[in-house]
Amino acid sequence: MDQSTPKTPNSLSLPWKTRIELWLLGVGIDLITRKDGTVNRWLFNLVDFKTPPSSQPINGVKTHDVMVDATRNLWFRVFTPTEYPIQDLPVIVFFHGGGYITAHPDSAKYDDVCRKLARELPAVVVSFDYPLAPEHQHPTQHDNGLDLLKFLDNEDNRSKWLPNANISRCFIAGDSAGGHMTHHVFERASRLEFEQLKVIGLVLLQLFFGGEKRTESEIVLDGTAPILTLKRTDWFWNAFLRAGDRDDGIVNVSGPNALDISKIDFPPTMVVVGGFDILRDWQIRYYQWLKKSGKEAYLVDYANMFHVFFLYPELPESDQLISEVKGFVQKVLNKVG
């Protein structure tokens, strides 16, 4: 794996439908992210198509929404597969992407992906609605992620809301900003004592990491790769972080001010990257940092794919990714027995 030679951007070939959607998404991001640092929520909600919860199975999965704390409007959606008579399913806690500023568990594309994961793995998927920036800034999102884990560790909550699940077989998965959140929530959770909850694996899909100094992939792919540009990622980080210091170990996670993770009991971790993602080099650096720290990590490289490609079901790579996650989850489960 050579992180210093990203692809030439003009070789990305995609169906027209996907291209048009990606172009619209780019225009949409630029329209909702105002110059004064606020998000146009009205406009965002207009184009954020929602899927309601459904107690009748759709594609073999039923869903319901659970309130963690009404005063903070913290809730999650549970995806339970119905075609398997299995008790004792693993739990996938899922943190969605969206630059910390957009998307929810009921956003149609995220609802679809979580539904597929629940059915194919199979697993009970818990997709969390954390508060968004800039209305809420760091560390609120990570604090609330921990609150979710504590809520799921509670016996009463579990028997009421996740009766088919075994929380000792818990994975945390996230894409983009949700992957960034996965790393930090896990790292903080690793210092807590839980009754039953045990995180046995991490799935990090195209992590949103960064630093002050630009990487090669950021420079080469900026302006030509879909979805993310430097202007947009800078905007997202400024919305999320009050101080704006990107080298404090929160953003540049594996950088010079990084935490020593060699003593943390890090579970097996799957790191997924794409060839046309400006964040590619940060993600590979993170993977290399895990390896260097003696952790069990797997790198999966979709050389012809862009940031959050798996949200586009018309691409065969989207289903391949689900199979890849399934393989990883099975491998980890076989080990813990």
Residues serving a catalytic function are 176, 277, 307
Q: What sign for the dihedral angle of Cα 64, 68, 72, 75? A: negative
Among 178, 255, 268, 274, binds ligand NAG (CB under 6 A): 255
Per-residue x/- track, 272-291, ligand NAG (CB under 6 A): -------------x------
| CA dist., res. 195 & res. 4, Å (int) | 44
156 belongs to the binding site for ligand NAG (CB under 6 A): no
183 belongs to the binding site for ligand NAG (CB under 6 A): no
Of 43 and 336, CB closest to ligand NAG? 336
Among 50, 213, 292, 335, binds ligand NAG (CB under 6 A): 213
Residue 149 parent element (H or E):
helix 140-153
245 belongs to the binding site for ligand NAG (CB under 6 A): no
Of 166 and 304, CB closest to ligand NAG? 166
Lookup result for tokens 């809301």: 161
256 belongs to the binding site for ligand NAG (CB under 6 A): yes
247 belongs to the binding site for ligand NAG (CB under 6 A): yes
What φ, ψ does residue 139 adopt, rounded to 5°? -100, 20
Of 107 and 254, CB closest to ligand NAG? 254
Q: At what angle do helices 140-153 and 177-189 cross, to 10 degrees?
A: 60
DSSP, residue by residue, 22-69: HHHHHHHHHHHB-TTS-B-HHHHHHH--B----SS-BTTEEEEEEEEE
- CA-CA distances (angstroms) from residue 197 to 16, 43, 120, 241? 44, 39, 23, 29
Among 127, 141, 252, 283, binds ligand NAG (CB under 6 A): 252
Sequence-distant (6+) residues with CB within 8 A of 219 are none
Amino acid sitting at position 134: P
Interface with ligand NAG by CB under 6 A: which range of 33-41, 110-118, 211-219, 264-272? 211-219
Shortest CB 151 distance to ligand NAG, Å? 19
Of 14 and 261, CB closest to ligand NAG? 261
| CA dist., res. 332 & res. 319, Å (int) | 20
169 belongs to the binding site for ligand NAG (CB under 6 A): yes
Residues near ligand NAG, by CB under 6 A: 88, 166, 168-169, 211-213, 247, 252, 254-256, 285, 336-337
